[in-house]
Every structure is written in structure tokens, then in C-alpha cells.
Amino acid sequence: MGHEHTHAVAPESASGRYLSRLTLALGIALVFMVVEFAVAAITDSLALLSDAAHMLTDVVGIAMALSAILLAKRSKPTYTRTFGYYRAEVLAALANAVLLFAVAIYVLYEAVRRIGEPPAVPGVPVLVVGALGLAANIVSFLLLRSGAQESLNVRGAYLEVFADLIGSIGVLLSAAITLTTGWRYADMIIGVAIGFWVLPRTWLLARRSLRILFQHSPEGLDVERVAKALQAVPGVADVHDLHVWTLTSGMEVASAHITVNPGRVGDEVLRAAQHVLAEDFRIEHATLQVEDIESARHCAELSW
């Protein structure tokens, strides 16, 4: 006998609750991206170009995050798309990570090209734009900080804003060194440092996205402990075909076959197993099949 218990918040993913904040952050990033690219072209500043490129990933990344949220909210599950488009948010987060990797490679290329003859970068325009960019990134950072704890998709946009915030500090440092010492390599070195600073965080975002796409168990969840907890339910003889995965941020899903001892009432065991999953592991959406020993033998004969 199978039974499915639907997650109470399934109609709206975690990132959906931060739609207005993402929209505001997108507007801020778009305005300052245009400003930074324009001043970077005028001043030939690699640090400012690096920060503007990061701001571009903010714009693209937040736009993809918004698109993914809207797609997930408006697309109801169907018989051909049984989970709707919830995974679109995870794909957006992975695309954000790829963009950040691409920016780091491009900045490194520009730095190598300039090693022999670094350009003279005027410090004042870079300093002013860096300060404005820092203020914009602080606002976006505060808008997205709480949502980054709940949604992988919002976290992707948050990490980009955070990286750009650090980048703006680097731009200010570069401008200060240029103004006080006139050292031409300061802009180039800090530009490269901005590019590489974000790489470890980008890797973490990509790894978390791939874990979800490959349907690995949620991070921090011991599936062996889940199996033992289910086996400890009174009346359970065996637990097999146990799978736990993340559909999208904040939506954990499980399925399992539970073999009951002879004479036990399947509905009672089922309710007890659901209680264990919900209370001990916060897994409220689970499809559990309760079966007798004879049915369990058939499962053992399956090829996978």
C-alpha cells in the first residue's frame, strides 16, 4: 500500500518569498553595471573592469534567478512534468557559478596581456565609482542576506553580490594606492585578486547545485540514520529502496518500501513512519510503500 504526504509549502519555493527583493537588487545592479563599464573603458582600469564584470554576473544571475522563480510559480505540475519547473532554480544557480568562473578567467587573461606595459589608471574616477559601487552592493547584500539561508537560487545571487562587494573594496584600495604612490601594477594585481577571491565560493555553489541535479542526499542528512530510525518503528521488519533527495531549496523528498511484520496493521506503521520522517528529519513530503514479506521478496528480484 503506497501513500504520499504532500509538503505544506510545495506551491511556493523558498526563493519565491524573496521576489520583490531580487527585483530591487536587479535594478540596483543594472544601473551600476552600466556606470562601471563606462568608467572602466574611459580609465582603462582592470580593477574596475573586473568589478564591472562581476556586476554583469549580478545582473544576469539575478535575472535568471527571477526568471526561474516566476517559471516555478506559474508552471503547475502536469502528467508530463510531475514536479513542474522547481528544478529551474537549481539550474539558474549552476549557471551563475559558470558565469563567475568565466569572469575570473577573463580577468586573468587581461592581466597577463598587460604585464609588460600596465596602463596609467587615473585614481579619482575609479575611487568615486568604487565608492558608489560599494554602497550599491551593501544595499543589495542586505536585501538578499536572509533569503540566501533558505534558497540555493537566492544564494547564488547573494554570493555574486557579496563577491562584488569585496570587489568594490578592492577597487577603492586600488584607487587609493594609485593616487598615493602612482604604482601602475596596483590596479592589475587587485583586479586579478578580485577575480580569484570568488572562485572557492563559486565552487561551493556549483557543487551544491550539482548535488541536487544528481539527486544526491541533502547535505547534512545521514540517510543511514534515517533508515535505522524507520526500522525502529514498531512493526517494521525491513526498510529498502530508501531514497532521499532535494527537489529545490527547502523541498526535501523521500521514498521508501517498508516491510511490516505479520499481523501488523499497515496504516498504523505508515503513520508512525511519516511521523518519524517529519519530526526527526523534517521530511514532510514522502512516498512510502508498506508491503508484506511476500511483496518484499519481489522487490529483491528487481534488476535495479
Closest by CA to 107, choosing from 201, 203, 200, 191, is: 191
The pLDDT of residue 74: 67
Tens digits of per-residue pLDDT, 202-247?
788 788 889 999 999 998 899 999 999 999 999 999 999 999 999 8
Cα(267)–Cα(4) distance, integer angstroms: 12
Over residues 144-163, the mean pLDDT reads 73
What one-character DSSP code corresponds to residue 117?
A: S
Tens digits of per-residue pLDDT, 27-78?
988 898 898 889 888 888 877 887 787 777 678 777 877 776 777 666 677 7
Write phi, then psi, for 145 (nearest 5 degrees). -60, -45
What one-character DSSP code corresponds to residue 18?
A: G
Cα(227)–Cα(231) distance, integer angstroms: 6
| Whole-number percent of the chain with pLDDT over 70 | 88
Which residues have a Cβ under 8 Å from the Cβ of 31 and sit 6 or more positions away?
Answer: 136
Over residues 125-138, the mean pLDDT reads 85
The pLDDT of residue 271: 93
Cα 147 to chain centroid, rounded: 11
The pLDDT of residue 7: 40
Please indicate, yes or no, whether the overall pTM of this predicted structure exceeds 0.85. Answer: no
Closest by CA to 89, choosing from 64, 68, 113, is: 68
Report residue 303's pLDDT band, with 50, 70 and 90 as the boundaries.
low
The pLDDT of residue 4: 45
Q: Give whole-number Cα distances, 33 to 50, 59, 127, 165, 193, in Å.
A: 11, 8, 15, 13, 20
**All structural domains of the chain:** 14-213 (1.20.1510.10), 223-300 (3.30.70.1350)
The pLDDT of residue 255: 94
Q: Give the three-class secondary structure for 150.
A: coil
Rounded to 10 degrees, what is the CA torsion of 45, 48, 49, 51? 160
